[in-house]
């Protein structure tokens, strides 16, 4: 059997960043390179019912080897990495027996992963820490989840004496841009319940997530020679800044936690003549979520009245919703996961996801799907790291969940 570290290092060697500006499915063709490798590995370990479709979904089935009426249980992870930081030419650093001191990521830029800034590091003293080299993200989100599922599948195929019900496996593209299950066929997948292995810190289990929307605002200015601009110029850059300043400062991501929602500006481009500004809007509470969207509409309406001629054009659409509503009628899914985590010698951490997963959308597609930890921290950037032991425990929890459902 191949160890889980070697699997993870192989998977992160593939650049699989998704692209929110692309209209294709998957958004980047390079995701297929890793998906094809995963398909081949499943075949090599003896999983006969495994296939890759044109939309970038690998689906596989391991048949039950027991006569019990265990329901088919699925495990899902995504192969893409966030476009927020480069995922090309990742050069991981492996620090065995971590001693609790700052970790030098990059000598040239004097960049450190310092427990003074990231105190969670101290939870992993004595363990093996995998970091970046300070120039790319690591890809633990979600290739740690991919590796955990693949190792668990490999273990089951190598140990047919372990009794289990039907097991379903899926790897998806484009989760990081909110389109991970846009063309996912739940009936073809065939699971009654599923788990995404896409969480962070060891012990996490999540069945609540943000309600999510995206807002794009185009601002049409009017450029006039600045020497003669009085009462004539409309500076789209300043108008965009005015819009941003009308949104509540305390509802920005850097000032929120737990169940607090936010407006997050994700991009801005502009000249005097025209500008474009983009936000994501998040809240766990449905009522507060709708209030945030209404506020965005009211701000745009006010500015159009102020400047006239509909200079602000708003495009806003929902992305996904809080899975809690769909999971709570099936709390046995959560209860069995809690038992599986405890069986692995871990104290469960139950809290809301301050984000979203494929599981949120799948839950509304008829496949209740809470989220389990994969072990990483500081996702989407060069400070990302992964304790090896946490990823190993994720694989162990998968096996324990399978046993619970048996």
Q: Active-site residues: which are they? A: 80, 175
C-alpha dihedral (295, 296, 300, 303), degrees to nearest 10: 60
Q: What is the 3-state secondary structure (H, E, C) of 289-345?
A: HHHHHHHHHHHHHHHHHHHCCCCEEEEEEEEECCCHHHHHHHCHHHHHHHHHHHHCC
What is d(CA 7, CA 232) in angstroms, rounded to the nearest whole number?
62
- CA–CA dist 162, 64 (Å, integer): 10
**Alpha carbons 256 and 260: distance in angstroms, whole number:** 6
Whole-Å CA distances, 162 to 61, 66, 72, 152:
16, 9, 16, 12
Beta-strand ranges (E) seen in 31-82 are 49-52, 58-62, 73-78
Beta bridge partners of 111: 106
- Would you say 210 and 261 are in contact if contact means Cβ atoms under 8 Å apart? yes
Cis peptide before 26 (omega within 30 of 0): yes
Pairing state of beta strands 349-350 and 204-206? parallel
Whether the upstream peptide bond of residue 194 has omega within 30° of 0, thus cis, is no
Q: d(Cα 359, Cα 369) in Å, to the nearest integer?
A: 5
**Strands, E, within 63-134: which ranges?**
73-78, 93-95, 103-106, 111-113, 129-131
Contact 90, 8 (CB under 8 A): no
- Map residue 150 onto helix, strand or coil: helix
CB 39 within 8 A of CB 51: yes
What is the Cα–Cα distance from 196 to 78, expressed in whole angstroms?
Answer: 9
Nearest to 206 by CA among 284, 113, 260: 284
């Amino acid at each position: 059997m191949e160890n889980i570290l070697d699997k993870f290092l192989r998977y992160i060697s593939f650049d699989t960043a998704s692209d929110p500006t692309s209209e294709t499915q998957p958004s980047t063709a390079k995701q297929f390179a890793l998906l094809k490798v995963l398909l081949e590995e499943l075949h090599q370990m003896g999983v006969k019912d495994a296939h890759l479709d044109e939309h970038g979904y690998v689906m596989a089935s391991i048949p039950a080897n027991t006569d019990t009426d265990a329901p088919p249980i699925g495990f899902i992870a995504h192969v893409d990495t966030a476009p927020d930081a480069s995922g090309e030419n990742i050069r991981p650093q492996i620090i065995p027996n971590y001693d609790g001191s700052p970790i030098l990521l990059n000598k040239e830029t004097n960049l450190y992963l310092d427990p003074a800034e990231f105190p969670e590091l101290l939870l992993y003293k004595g363990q093996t820490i995998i970091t970046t080299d300070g120039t790319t993200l690591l890809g633990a989100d979600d290739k740690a989840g991919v590796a955990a599922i693949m190792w668990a599948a490999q273990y089951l195929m190598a140990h047919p004496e372990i009794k289990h019900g039907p097991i379903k496996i899926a790897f998806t593209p484009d989760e990081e841009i909110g389109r991970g299950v846009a063309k996912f066929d739940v009936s073809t997948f065939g699971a009654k319940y599923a788990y995404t292995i896409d969480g962070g810190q060891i012990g996490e289990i999540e069945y609540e997530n943000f309600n999510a929307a995206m807002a794009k605002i185009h601002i049409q200015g009017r450029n006039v020679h600045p020497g003669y601009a009085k009462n004539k110029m409309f500076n789209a850059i300043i108008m965009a800044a005015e819009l941003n300043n009308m949104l509540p400062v305390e509802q920005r991501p850097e000032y929120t936690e737990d169940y607090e929602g936010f407006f997050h500006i994700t991009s801005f481009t502009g000249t005097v003549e025209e500008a474009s500004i983009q936000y994501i809007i998040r809240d766990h509470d449905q009522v507060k979520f709708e209030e945030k969207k209404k506020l965005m509409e009211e701000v745009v309406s006010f500015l159009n009245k102020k400047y006239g001629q509909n200079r602000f054009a708003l495009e806003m659409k929902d992305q996904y919703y809080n899975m809690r509503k769909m999971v709570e009628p099936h709390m046995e899914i959560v209860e069995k996961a809690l038992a599986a985590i405890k069986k692995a010698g871990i104290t469960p951490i139950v809290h809301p996801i301050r984000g979203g997963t494929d599981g949120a959308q799948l839950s509304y597609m008829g496949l209740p799907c809470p989220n389990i930890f994969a072990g990483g921290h500081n996702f989407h950037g060069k400070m990302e790291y992964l304790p090896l032991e946490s990823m190993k425990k994720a694989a162990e929890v998968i096996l324990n969940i399978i046993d619970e459902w048996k």
